Amino acid sequence: MSDQGRELWIRRAMRLVAHRFRQNRWMLAAAIAAVLAVHIWAGGDTRTVTAVVGALIVVAGLAPSRTAGLLTTEAEETANGGTRGLSGENLAAAVTDPLIVFDGAGAVVHANDAAVNAFGALRPGILLLLKFRAPEMQEMIQAVLFGHAASRQIDFIERVPIERVFRVTASAVGRGTGLYVMVFKDQSETRRIDRMRADFIANASHELRTPLASISGFVETLRGPARDDAKARDHFLQIMQNQTARMARLIDDLLSLSRLEMKSHLRPGVKVDLRGVVESVIDSLSLLAKESGVTVERNFPTGAFEALGDRDELFQVFENLLENACKYGASGGRVVVSIGGPDTNAEHETTVTIQDFGPGIPEEHIPRVTERFYRVDVETSRSQKGTGLGLSIVKHILTRHNARLSIRSKLGEGAAFTVHFPAAE
């Protein structure tokens, strides 16, 4: 074989080996060995061998991208294969919201555990039109089954056993499967918060409107018929001052609630001497107690009583409770303030109890007294300059302190408000 022929044959062999090497990088060593064997057999010169080996090394530098592509493709195929292997029941079980799969006849094919817990038994074969009789549900199911809409979304209210509001979405599953899916998103808590917010705004507006209307009427009177009546002027000005003070208290309480809600997730981490806080509150309200004809008695055992908290906020808690006891329990003539240590109860809590001996609170009102603007007796509350927000502020502060408020009361025997603090670490 001529030198030119041997060189042409070697170049063809090099191209073939390079092509194979792009597919399998591990063949590099075998490729180089093959080139050397051909060189020895064909009697080629050293420059040709060097060129061939250099070309193989260049190919080796290009191979990783090809190898990465092959690995990526294999990974994608594995992932796709794994997804295709998942069953519909497994996917439905992973959904935390109620989910129902039904067929073209409107019969249940599968319902996840959340759906069964929310709506009771949903055995395969049950017709959804018989299970959900609300007109909006019937219309949505029929619209999806008859192809009037690819998907529909409505609000559905379940009233039994308790009222719950769901945002329901129904749509077809894929194309040509003959299956449909319905997902229920519980909106009950969102609706409750929206209703609470609306009620709060309405109540706050009403509480502010009343003194404003009173002040406006007295201003009009002073500018007209009572312009030159000194006695009437002094009387009206006193009422106007009382009404503006009431509005100021209401605004202060609203701001306190707003601040508490903004930091409700922040837990105080400083130990507070509860005895010292309660003593300060009693001293600050001594004049109010005297004017109300109430004697404040202390029942403090020896020892230290501490809790994790914010001193100013806890002062506000006990100030509200003691002020209410002096105002609304004044007919009893005395108020007893007690402190109990962790060793006095099974829960190992530190407790502070403020007990009056007045008319008490009717049992049906006790669960609601901490609601905003809720009053057991509206006229009595307003005559005592109450805003209807004091116990709501107490509840918010105690929630932030991981504490709680319990209320015991009997008509004619007074009421006891107890604050329970978890044991301080």
The span from the CA of 70 to the CA of 25, in Å, is 12
> Of the candidates 186, 207, 230, which is a domain's last residue?
186
What's residue 19's pLDDT?
A: 53
Same domain for 39 and 99, yes or no, is no
Angle made by CA atoms 178, 183, 189, in degrees to the nearest 5: 170
Q: What φ, ψ does residue 317 adopt, rounded to 5°?
A: -60, -55
Same domain for 33 and 169, yes or no, is no
Domain tally, the chain: 4
Q: Are 155 and 168 in contact (CB under 8 A)?
A: yes
> Of the candidates 84, 101, 125, which is a domain's last residue?
84
pLDDT digits (tens, 9 = 90+) for 104-138: 999 999 999 999 988 888 899 999 999 998 999 99
What's residue 69's pLDDT?
A: 46
Same domain for 219 and 117, yes or no, is no
Q: What φ, ψ does residue 410 adopt, rounded to 5°?
A: -135, 140
Q: Write the CATH number for 366.
A: 3.30.565.10
Same domain for 64 and 172, yes or no, is no
Same domain for 133 and 149, yes or no, is yes
Work out whether the CA dihedral 55, 60, 62, 63 comes out positive or negative.
positive
pLDDT digits (tens, 9 = 90+) for 306-328: 888 889 889 999 999 999 999 88
* Stated pTM of the model: 0.53
Same domain for 288 and 393, yes or no, is yes
What's residue 66's pLDDT?
A: 42
Same domain for 287 and 386, yes or no, is yes
Say which residues have a Cβ less than 8 Å from residue 387's Cβ, sequence separation at least 6.
207, 246, 249, 250, 253
Percent helix, strand, coil in the chain, to 5, is: 55, 20, 25
The span from the CA of 308 to the CA of 321, in Å, is 20
Same domain for 99 and 168, yes or no, is yes
Residue 238 belongs to what domain range?
Answer: 193-262
What's residue 100's pLDDT?
A: 94
What's residue 217's pLDDT?
A: 85
Same domain for 255 and 276, yes or no, is no
The span from the CA of 272 to the CA of 314, in Å, is 9
Which pair of structure tokens corresponds to residue 98? 């109620």
Same domain for 213 and 144, yes or no, is no
The span from the CA of 350 to the CA of 347, in Å, is 9
What's residue 78's pLDDT?
A: 46
Q: What is the mean pLDDT of each run of 10 residues along the chain (425 residues)?
A: 55 55 51 52 53 50 43 48 62 86 92 89 90 91 85 85 87 86 90 76 76 85 82 85 83 80 74 91 91 91 84 91 90 91 74 92 88 75 70 89 91 92 71
> Of the candidates 238, 262, 286, which is a domain's last residue?
262
